[in-house]
A and B are shown apart, each in its own frame.
Chain A
Amino acid sequence: MAVLAETRRVTKRFGTFRAVDAVDLAVASGEVVGLLGSNGAGKTTLIRLVLGLLRPSGGDVRLFGALPSMSTRRRVGYVPQTLGLYDDMTVLENWSFTSAAFGSERPVLPESIRDSKDELVGNLPLGLQRRVAFAVAFSHEPELLVLDEPTSGVGPLSRARLWQDIRESTEHGTGVLVTTHNMEEAEQCDRLVVMVDGRVAAGGTVADVIGSRTVVQVTCDDWRKAFAVLDEEGLIVQVESGALRVPGSPGQLGEILARHKIAATVATVPANLEEAFVSVVRNGIHR
């Protein structure tokens, strides 16, 4: 598969702060790469470097084999977190404006937004606004799609439909780079890149990122008491389906619970993606 976007040890400094620090990233034709990271980890800065909206302080960025420029921008569709639509223009006007800017006169509005073509974008519900932003970004048939938190605040069915659009475009060879805080969404990506403090801290498939990480599952009659005791120890305890899930060793947790005379079953279970992600971020960078 052809590599569409590539960074080699790309770095972006703002003053002395390294927002992006020697990051290698590649997005190939037909794949969905999920970019994960806490707020402030450098995801949006990396996206802006890839798009050519920022110049790197060091390292290389290649878009379709060349430096990012106006002519590469034409081949990229970008949906920023803020959607990038004009609230005081109608759906049709937004669509026509972007089509004209990209020099791709396409008079046919996609069916998904045709019903609301004369509505002001600012008056539409958020889910529909996102569909419009997607349609506008797809309008010039981009080879690379860059989506910054595309489904924040969107309901389950609307989210499934946006992903349907994403996958339809990859089947035609488009490559997709998408950031998300939603782990169900991250699980649908072909590959993940996890950033911590401007660096790549983990990557690969979902299984690669989870690796051999485990959490301890605590099951007992009185979850409230067990929660209070473990929480008091400073552990980040999560309640899930009536059981407690805690990072740590079963021996250590068993000892704490025994000390407080709480009868509980303690077992090591594989971490889920969210727990693995939290662990990667908390433990910083392992290379």
Chain B
Amino acid sequence: MTWGLELARVRFGTRTALDGVSLVAAPATVSVVIGGDGAGKSTLLRALVGLVGLSSGASRRPPKSEIGYIPATAGLYVDLTVEENLAFSGGAYGVTGREFAHRSDELLERIGLAGARDRLGGQLSGGMQRKLAVAMSLLHRPALLVLDEPTTGVDPVSRSELWRLISGAAAAGAAVVATTTYVSEAYRASTVTLLDQGRPIATGAPSEIVEAVPGKMGVVRSAAQPRGLSWRWGTTWRLWSPSGVLPEGVEPVQPDFEDAVIIACLADERAV
């Protein structure tokens, strides 16, 4: 069974928060949604799990009991212990008794909190809190796992451990949808949706998004900003020509995924 959104539109009053977004969440795959603050990432996930209604389009999802979801800001109770947090989640999803004991032991071991069952959620570091929240959402082995910025502000070591959990859920058959502001995390996904102001501005596998870049990109080594659509990378400039004609002396360079993302944003900005 495949879940997802089809041309989903969400309005809050007169503001369109999500404007015709489609997304496929297939079992045993990870879909990543990239965008900045206010791009509509959280609204997209909330529409997918059924927390906000669509003004048009369609949302397909399994029954609530088969969804695991963590919002961007929380996902755990700071005044409950690690064990109590898991037990609460277990109770809510009907994972109890011996099954709960087995599953919570396994998850606590994996997130390195087996020795911290009695610690309050609020006493954990940011990275640990996110790991516990993801573990709570995995307790009932959801068919659809939906994670809102699970790694924002988390250091790379904790991030690799979080992705181990997330990829593990996909390996076990879950359809995973996660949002991120880190462009490099797109490589962990089979499909990527790039969102800006509620609109999808690029969709596909990272390699497909790179291949779909129109025109040509070049690297310019100068202090002054070159004319045209350009942005900084280290001490150099990247210059993109939508028509494919670069100024004389500028060598074309194959864009990488990060370049492709910035080009998609620039192209979108120009079109608006």
List residues of chain A with CB under 8 Å of any chain B CB: 37-40, 125-127, 149, 152-158, 160-161, 163-164, 167, 171, 181-184, 187-188, 190, 223-224, 227-228, 231, 236-242, 274, 277-278, 281-282
Nearest-neighbor residue (CB-CB) of B165 within chain A: A231
A152 B152 Cβ-Cβ under 8 A: yes
Give the distance in Å from the alpha carbon of A226 to the alpha carbon of B159 in the complex. Answer: 21
Interface string of B66-110 (1 = CB under 8 A from A): 000000000000000000000000000000000000000000000
Asked if A171 meets B223 with Cβ closer than 8 Å, knowing A228-B171, A241-B206, the reply is: yes
The listed residue (B153, B154, B190, B269) touching A157 by CB distance below 8 A is B269
Residues of A contacting B266 with CB < 8 Å? 157
Which of A153, A156, A237, A242 counts the most B-chain CB atoms under 10 A from its CB?
Answer: A156
Tell me the minimal C-beta distance from A260 to chain B in angstroms. Answer: 14
Nearest-neighbor residue (CB-CB) of A282 within chain B: B157
Residues of B contacting A236 with CB < 8 Å? 160-161, 164
Interface string of B144-174 (1 = CB under 8 A from A): 0000010011111111110110011011110
Asked if A227 meets B36 with Cβ closer than 8 Å, knowing A39-B125, A157-B266, the reply is: no
Tell me the minimal C-beta distance from B71 to chain A in angstroms. Answer: 15
- Near A by CB (< 8 A), chain B positions 166-217 give 167-168, 170-173, 181-184, 187-188, 190, 196, 206-207
A224 B232 Cβ-Cβ under 8 A: no
Is B249 positioned at the interface, with any CB of A under 8 Å from its CB?
no
B182 A157 Cβ-Cβ under 8 A: no
Tell me the minimal C-beta distance from A186 to chain B in angstroms. Answer: 9
Q: How many residues of B contact A (CB 8 A)?
A: 53
Residues of B contacting A240 with CB < 8 Å? 187-188
A155 B39 Cβ-Cβ under 8 A: yes
Give the distance in Å from the alpha carbon of A167 to the alpha carbon of B224 in the complex. Answer: 11
B181 A154 Cβ-Cβ under 8 A: yes
Tell me the minimal C-beta distance from B43 to chain A in angstroms. Answer: 14
Tell me the minimal C-beta distance from B233 to chain A in angstroms. Answer: 6
Residues of B contacting A155 with CB < 8 Å? 34-37, 39, 181, 196, 265
The listed residue (B152, B158, B167, B269) touching A237 by CB distance below 8 A is B167
Is B30 positioned at the interface, with any CB of A under 8 Å from its CB?
yes
Is B38 positioned at the interface, with any CB of A under 8 Å from its CB?
yes
Give the distance in Å from the alpha carbon of A238 to the alpha carbon of B149 in the complex. Answer: 18
Asked if A156 meets B155 with Cβ closer than 8 Å, knowing A126-B38, A237-B164, A238-B164, the reply is: no
Residues of B contacting A182 with CB < 8 Å? 182
Is B113 positioned at the interface, with any CB of A under 8 Å from its CB?
no
Tell me the minimal C-beta distance from B50 to chain A in angstroms. Answer: 26
Asked if A231 meets B171 with Cβ closer than 8 Å, knowing A157-B265, A160-B231, the reply is: yes
Residues of B contacting A238 with CB < 8 Å? 160, 163-164, 167, 188
Is B28 positioned at the interface, with any CB of A under 8 Å from its CB?
yes
